[in-house]
Amino acid sequence: MRTWLVLALMFPLAVGAPTTRAEDDTGDRDRGGEMRVVLPPFPRPENYLPLYVSETTPFAFFIDAKSISVGPDRAVRYSVIAKSNDGGLNVSFEGMRCNERQYRIYAIGRSDQSWSEVRDSSWAAIRSDARNAQRIVLHGDFFCPVTGAIATAEEGVKVLKDGGNPRAAISSY
């Protein structure tokens, strides 16, 4: 009888106990403390905006106009499509922190036109190398000009349609 009494008294404490890290991830923030990001609909060709990178890149790049957003954290988020000469597509949903010169990949596109979230995604530096060519151009020429980041999705679409941000010092990647 005594054991049941002890268990009955402990039960309310267990119900109110803090949850584990895995259970707590259902809130508004991810493990890194960043606001959770909602993945956009998968890109559709009619919404592709061309992104010229350079003559030497092996891909044609596009940004999905419908996916561009600027969050309360001032990060610019967008879907990027890389199309190879033989028609193969690589699709990803990414974010860019202008002031920190960082990017993050949130999800990779699947062939069935759905997203596969990247599990251990974290912010990384945008380095000046061929693997980051599209990010270098997006950062310097479109989303993050010298005078400050774009403020709205509409501004992002406009600068992509116009071929560059008038506030940018056009890169020579």
pLDDT at 169: 62
Are 156 and 167 spatial neighbours (Cβ–Cβ below 8 Å)? Answer: no
- Alpha-carbon distance values, 110 to 88, 93, 96, 122 (Å): 12, 12, 22, 20
Q: What is the pLDDT of residue 110?
A: 97
Query: Which run of H or of E encompasses 25?
Result: none
Q: What is the mean pLDDT of the chain?
A: 82
CA neighbor of 94 nearest in space, from 84, 83, 109: 109
pLDDT surpasses 50 at 94: yes
Q: Is the pLDDT of residue 14 over 60?
A: no
What pLDDT sits at residue 36? 79
Q: Which CATH code, of 2.60.40, 2.40.128, 3.30.70, 1.10.357, is assigned to 40-162?
A: 2.40.128
